Amino acid sequence: MDSVRLDALNPPAENGNVSQSDAHKRLAQVDSVVLPFLGGFGRYQRRLVALTWIPAVLISFSQFSDYFLLGQPDKKCVRPDEGGGGNGTGAGRDLLSELMANGTGLESAHGTACLCSEWRFELQSGLQQNVVTRWTLVCDGEWKVHIAKFSLLVGSIFGYVLMGAVADWLGRIPVLLVSVLSVLVFGLAMAFSVDMAMFSTLRFFEGFCLAAIRLSLYVLRIELCLPKWRFSMTMITNLIMVGGQLLMPGLAALCRDWQILQIIIIAPFVFMLPMFPESLRWLLATQHYQRAKQQMHRISKSNRVDTTTDPSGILSELEAELQQRPETCCVTQLRSTRNLWKNTVVLCVNSLTGYGIHHCFARSVVEGSATHLHYYALAAIATASCIVVFPVVGGFGRRGGLLTFMIITALASLLQLGLLNLIGKYSLRHDEVLRDTLNERFSYAFSIIGMFSSHAVSTLSIFYCAEITPTVIRGGGVGLVLASAGFGMLTAPLMELHNQKGFFLHHVILTCCTLLCIICIPLLPETRGQPLPETLADGEGLQRRPLLPGEQHHLLAVTDVREYSRVQDTPLHQAVNPGNGTVPSNNSTANGVRTS
């Protein structure tokens, strides 16, 4: 189930401008040559990976702060509006009377409840005051809360896409430093917002900067680890972020005020400024050899490795390449590849579907909950998902694990949409109470299963993209998948803004997407135990292997697969033209057909 890496892959210009000079240089073999020479996953790498866990907690606080900063309180009117002030107006009351005359009971009841000039609020999240109670965002002003949630996610989407490309161009650390400084400015300014418009605007920029920080740290962590450590270190980070989610209610109870809570979340980012050096893997892949030499010296010194002998010749080769000019790539070059763009699109759809359908399942769990206990239920499901992912991916690999969880997600969604309509339709059609009880219990069970599996799908999609995407465009590739996840999460405030109208159709569309993903996932290459691709040519060299043991008998033999994958759509008359010096051998292939 391992992927096939084709060393001789070098497509011509007409099939994609993907080229690499000296593809077999030792400096390009980071996982198999460079890092083992510098001590492997030694003290230097372990310390940096552990340092990435600290901001992971802060990012988790920021991501889940909506539950506290923008949580809707229990409200009670202590002074009804009698003169047209407050949230109701005289014209509004006239319209209300007309609606009551027309018999619109629900709408009139809602209008009557909002005719109040003074409210008494009671928060269930541990805070005494939040944004909603500060500016009385209830009734006619409730839509502003959804806009604030919307602005954070939209800012994150832009941050993932734009700063991911910048991270491939300038490096991981410049993006990280600029983003940390910016989030300090915007995050602290948000705590002193004078109105909701200022709060939502600063929330957008805060989301932009937090997305850049998360992306930079994610890519840096992946590039620090050897193959056998990548997945475990990433899953530990996810567990730490879930831990931050669990700690958030206690932090809110200690702060008591939303402004203090916001300052406490943002201020510790200042300690991230001197923490991280540039990724050695990115320096080598983009030919920043002078900086890479200094970095390798620091790593060897920290890992206590003697590099004076240099038996592998890495340092001598590095000295010979010091005059090379740096060459950076952009994620837009994916369009000139054959396989990479397809793999990226598949993982983007997986990520969007996983996060989007997670909201559909979560709605069934938290619907009607009067307390924030559902918050802990969501965190517990996420924790269980991260723990179960370990043995599943260990047994089935990245592709098999992703496919397994996507199938479970699709089944849970299909059963929730279809089976619940059939329960009691015949045998219990006269007992409506029992039928409704069964529907509620089955819906709750399927929702928990669906949330469990969709969380695993989302996590694996992002990690899978980081392993498939080459180092030279890894920031942009991972940014696209994270942005797709942002689009999936965006469905939650959009549905709330429209008062859940069209929710069933929304759930049906996402269920269809899960079925599409099940078809596409087997087309991805397996990356477990494989070195990370460094260049576009390395990424193109990752070829799919059969998912099932018996599938190979229906495909080409292994040697034929390697030969077929080297076919570069060369016209047949050129492939056999002796004048061009391209006479095929007895075992060569032309457009996939053996010419012997």
Share of the chain above pLDDT 70, in %: 77
State the amino acid at position 258 in one-letter form: W
Residues 222-233: tens digit of each pLDDT: 999 999 999 999
> With 60 as the cut, is the pLDDT of residue 498 above it?
yes
Share of the chain above pLDDT 90, in %: 45
> Which residue has better confidence, 562 or 538?
538
Q: Mean of the pLDDT values across residues 77-84?
A: 68
Per-residue model confidence (pLDDT) at position 22: 44
> What's the burial of 545, exposed, middle or buried (CB within 10 Å: 0-12/13-18/19+)?
middle
Q: Mean of the pLDDT values across residues 24-41?
A: 85
Q: Please state, in angstroms and rounded to a whole number, the distance separating the CA atoms of residues 202 and 264.
A: 17
Per-residue model confidence (pLDDT) at position 569: 45
Is residue 594 within a helix (H) or strand (E), and if so which, with residue range? strand 593-594
Residue ranges of the chain that CATH labels 1.20.1250.20: 4-11+27-69+144-523
What's the farthest any 2 CA atoms get from each other in the chain?
Answer: 97
Token pair for residue 481?
Answer: 């998948």
Q: Please, which pLDDT band fits residue 211 given cuts at 50, 70 and 90? A: very high
User: pTM for the full model?
Assistant: 0.82
Per-residue model confidence (pLDDT) at position 275: 82
Q: Mean of the pLDDT values across residues 273-289?
A: 90
> With 60 as the cut, is the pLDDT of residue 49 above it?
yes
> Which residue has better confidence, 447 or 421?
447
> With 60 as the cut, is the pLDDT of residue 89 above it?
no
State the amino acid at position 82 in one-letter form: E
Cβ neighbors of 75 (< 8 A, separation 6 or more) are 119, 120, 121, 122, 138
Token pair for residue 208?
Answer: 């932009």
Residues 354-375: tens digit of each pLDDT: 999 998 888 877 765 545 678 8
> With 70 as the cut, is the pLDDT of residue 417 above it?
yes
Least confidently predicted of 233-237, 316-320, 431-435, 583-587: 583-587
Residues 157-173: tens digit of each pLDDT: 999 999 999 999 999 99
Q: Is the CA virtual torsion 133, 135, 141, 147 positive or negative?
A: negative
122 bridge partner residues: 74
Per-residue model confidence (pLDDT) at position 351: 95
Q: What is the number of other CB atoms lying within 10 angstroms of the CB of residue 227?
A: 17
Residues 551-564: tens digit of each pLDDT: 544 444 444 444 44
Per-residue model confidence (pLDDT) at position 163: 95
Residues 439-462: tens digit of each pLDDT: 778 888 889 999 999 999 999 999
State the amino acid at position 364 in one-letter form: S
Q: Mean of the pLDDT values across residues 332-346?
A: 91
Q: Please state, in angstroms and rounded to a whole number, the distance separating the CA atoms of residues 70 and 93.
A: 28
Q: Which CATH class is domain 4-11+27-69+144-523?
A: mainly alpha
